[in-house]
Amino acid sequence: MRYEFTAEEEAFRAELLEWIENEVPEDLRGIGRAASDEEWENELRVRRQLADKGWLTLAWPTEYGGQGAPMMQQVIFNEEMVYHRIPGREPFGTRMLAPTLMVHGTEEQRRKYLPPIARGEVQWCQGYSEPDSGSDLASLQMRAVDDGDDFVVNGSKIWTSLAHRADWIFFLVRTDPDAPKHRGISFLLAPMDTPGISVEPIINMAGHHSFNQVFFEDVRVPKENLVGELNRGWYVAATLLDFERSGVDYPAQARRTLDDLIEYAHSTLGADGEPLSKDPDIRRKFVELSIETDAARSIAYEVADMQAHGEIPNKEASMSKTLGTKLVQDVYGFGVDLLGMYGQLRPGSPRAVLEGRMLDMQLTTVAFTIFAGTTEIQKNIIATRGLGLPRG
């Protein structure tokens, strides 16, 4: 039992922090949602730097161009990148598609798709949800019909992050409408410039263009772009392959935000002339949120530790996601409250405090408990898969 990182792991952290300090200027750091073209350029620039360092695919096995880094190193990397608000990490290619291809792809697919991801040269996006298939993803309806060497795809995908920046999309389609719903789905790949694919932006409530609806109209996808077996796409997608599932990003983000808020509270006087950090209500909230952060981080570490020991976390990963997403909502919500009347000012507004980030992220994080499996679905999973309660 050891509740601290090893000297080697700390050495990696030190190297990373030094790189951040020396190589990533302050103006490149930020929320990193790549909403503007300028932010996107920054994103790509840092990504290429990460690729050069080998850090973009830190956890990939060496045979596919990764570092085969131990789990805890990847956790440290994620923690520090988030804490310092460094852009450049890329989940869709490096963490979602790549492991899928490593297991389910053909040798040819691996050789074709993995190297550009490792070099940070290609942006992937993920086409899973559809307008009528959210929590009940397996009910998806987008059709792919067999037509000679191709599938012909019709339908639409929604909530597709970065579709407007992406070069390629991996997506799920229904290839057998008569089979039980989980057994008629296939997993395909396509370039975003394939004729018939069009992208419509969706603006979120924070005013950002964060995702899209992607329409497929008679899109021809060569059969060689099928990953895994025909009609087994649900299982290809559902295999829990991610290199790092700990969810440590959330507590790292929360810790950074709390640190910023504590600094603000120390340096800002309340109506009584004392620093806000001496206000008992505010003090108490800081302590509570700090415990909540610590809780989410502890479970994240536990998930990583399980992965490091070759165990497959399931209820723990759902716990981590549930805790982490609630945590960031709570932290930004408190941040907005702490700023009082100023909490309502948007980024860029005159008089905005802490760059308006609290409000912007409070609005943004509304979706965190919804996307990638709602909190309700996560709790269902914990109860049934984790605790063995019977399904309803």
Partner 1 sequence: MDLSLDDTQQLVRNSARDFLAESVDRLYVRDMEDDERGYTDEFWKSVAELGWTGMIVPEQHGGAGMSLIELSLVLEEMGAAAAPGPFFSTAVVGAHAISAHGNDDQKSKYLPRLVSGELITSLAILEGGASWEAGGIRMSARRSEDGWRLNGEKVFVADAGVADLFIVAARTGENGPPEESITLFLVEASTIENNKMERLESVADDRYYVVDFQDVVVPPDGVLGEVDGGWPLLKQTLDLAAVAKCAEMVGGSRRAVDMTLEYVKERVQFGRPIGTFQAVQHRAAEMATDLEIARQFTYRAAWALSEGKGDGTEVATAKAFLSEKFSEICASAHQLHGAIGYTQEHDLQIYSRRAASAKVAFGDARHHREVLAELMGL
- Residues in contact with a second copy by the rule CB under 8 A: 280-281, 284
φ, ψ (nearest 5 deg) of residue 221:
-115, 120
Find the length of the chain. Answer: 392
Stretch that binds partner 1, among 97-105, 128-136, 170-178, 186-194 (CB under 8 A): 128-136
11-70 binders of partner 1 (CB under 8 A): none
Q: What is the DSSP letter of 96?
A: I
Query: Taking CB under 8 A as the rule, which mask of x and - marks residues 149-178 in contact with partner 1?
Result: ---------xx-------------------
Using CA atoms, how far apart are residues 175 and 153, in angstroms rounded to an integer? 10
Q: How many CB atoms lie within 10 A of CB 129?
A: 20
Using CA atoms, how far apart are residues 322 and 348, in angstroms rounded to an integer? 31
CB 175 within 8 A of CB 230: yes
Using CA atoms, how far apart are residues 259 and 217, in angstroms rounded to an integer? 49
Asked if 79 touches partner 1 (CB under 8 A), the answer is no
Asked if 180 touches partner 1 (CB under 8 A), the answer is no
Q: Which of 107, 148, 309, 310 binds partner 1 (CB under 8 A)?
A: 309
Block residue for tokens 């993803």: 137
Q: In the bound complex, what is the minimum distance in angstroms from residue 280's beta carbon to a second copy?
A: 3
Q: In the bound complex, what is the minimum distance in angstroms from residue 343's beta carbon to partner 1?
A: 7
List 43, 244, 292, 316, catalytic entry: 244
Using CA atoms, how far apart are residues 29 and 255, in angstroms rounded to an integer? 16
What does 177 bind: partner 1, a second copy, none (CB cut-off 5 to 8 Å by kind)?
A: none
Block residue for tokens 């909502």: 329
Q: Which CB sits closer to a second copy, 260 or 279?
A: 279
- C-alpha distances (whole Å) from 240 to each of 37, 95, 209, 237, 244 are 33, 11, 29, 8, 10
Q: Which of 242, 260, 337, 355 binds partner 1 (CB under 8 A)?
A: 337
Asked if 386 touches partner 1 (CB under 8 A), the answer is yes
Q: In the bound complex, what is the minimum distance in angstroms from residue 284's beta carbon to a second copy?
A: 6
What's the alpha-carbon Rg for the chain, to the nearest Å?
22
Q: In the bound complex, what is the minimum distance in angstroms from residue 291's beta carbon to a second copy?
A: 15
Q: In the bound complex, what is the minimum distance in angstroms from residue 79's beta carbon to partner 1?
A: 12
Q: In the bound complex, what is the minimum distance in angstroms from residue 330's beta carbon to a second copy?
A: 17
Asked if 314 touches partner 1 (CB under 8 A), the answer is no
Q: Which of 8, 18, 52, 132 binds partner 1 (CB under 8 A)?
A: 132
What does 390 bind: partner 1, a second copy, none (CB cut-off 5 to 8 Å by kind)?
A: partner 1
What does 79 bind: partner 1, a second copy, none (CB cut-off 5 to 8 Å by kind)?
A: none
Task: Tell me the torsion sign for CA atoms 255, 259, 264, 265.
Answer: positive
Q: Is 244 a known active-site residue?
A: yes
Q: 49: Cβ–Cβ under 8 A, 6 or more apart, which residues?
A: 23, 24, 88
Active-site residue numbers?
244
